[in-house]
Amino acid sequence: MEPTAAAALREARARLGGHGRDARLDASRLLEAASGRDRAWLLAHAGDTLDRHDFERFTGYVARRERGEPVAYILGECGFYGRSFEITRDVLVPRPESEHLIELALRRLREAAARGPRVCDVGTGSGALAVTLCCELPSLEADGIDLSPAALAVADRNARRHALGARIAFRIGDALNGLAAGRLFDGILANLPYVPTAELQDHPDPTAFEPRVALDGGPDGLDAYRRLLERAPHHLVPGGWLLMEAGPGTASALADLAGRAFPASAFVEIHRDYAARERIVAVRG
Ligand code: GLN
């Protein structure tokens, strides 16, 4: 006999307890996906016995989560800035911290919004940044660049999922190398690999499941950003913004590099996330 929804959730929460205070939420999301029912339905039917196939699917999901696999990979989907994105193991799981990059870009692009700005999302991965910005600013057009063809396929599907096919041009590339001279942007956003190689093995989950090429920033975590900073000054309109996500341990070194790449810029700012960790380096071109 299969358990009730309430009993299955209780058992799953206990098993996932090792994965922090999110165990309750994770168990509930996995049961919603396994049963095809939403949270409200499951609450109203907490005492009903689960369907056998749904229960088996749920048990499989919980076992994967118990091994540390992120819910986004198990479900093939993740929320970011209020929208849903397809996620596969070819791309990083979008982090809430990256929503700060969106907030900042929206503030910085406000002036340019009237003239139809163009942004470039470097290391686009799932496309979450480019797609979100295009959804938020209807006058915006974007380029999305990534080294990984598999990631670009996911990004392209996400653009179509949000009906943005015509407004985002995805291309394969390493940082801004190979981009036509004279291609200018009002904003360049980047979430490039920034974890120092030696820290990768101790890095908190879910990185063990994520593509290393999207995380490994070389000995000091800044290899990819060095390549970006070589080209970025040539691709920003005067007064345009370069916004780069960094790790708490790398942001100030990145700000120094950015200052050297843009010697005439009066604006090199470091922004913090809600946990007050240094997170974003912003430079005005
Ligand atoms: N935010 C990721 C982490 O620290 C790293 C992402 C990246 O390297 N761009 O878990």
- From the alpha carbon of 193, which atom of ligand 1 is closest? 8
Q: Which two tokens stand for residue 161?
A: 């999922």
Position 21 scores a pLDDT of: 61
Best of 100, 126, 191, 281 for a ligand 1 pocket test (most atoms within 8 Å of beta carbon): 191
Position 274 scores a pLDDT of: 86
Neighbouring CB atoms inside 10 A of 151's CB total: 25
Residue located nearest, by CA, to atom 7 of ligand 1: 193
Q: Per-block average pLDDT, block size 10, for the chain (285 residues)?
A: 94 83 89 96 95 97 94 96 98 95 93 88 98 96 97 98 95 93 95 95 85 95 97 95 94 96 89 91 94
Position 201 scores a pLDDT of: 87
Position 161 scores a pLDDT of: 97
Most distant CA atoms of the chain, gap in Å = 71
User: Topology of domain 92-284, per CATH?
Assistant: Rossmann fold (3.40.50)
- From the alpha carbon of 194, which atom of ligand 1 is closest? 8
Best of 91, 95, 216 for a ligand 1 pocket test (most atoms within 8 Å of beta carbon): 95
Residue located nearest, by CA, to atom 9 of ligand 1: 193
Position 73 scores a pLDDT of: 97
* CB-CB contact of 166 with 138 (8 Å): no
Query: What's the length of the chain?
Result: 285
Position 202 scores a pLDDT of: 83
Position 269 scores a pLDDT of: 93
Q: What is the pTM of this model?
A: 0.93
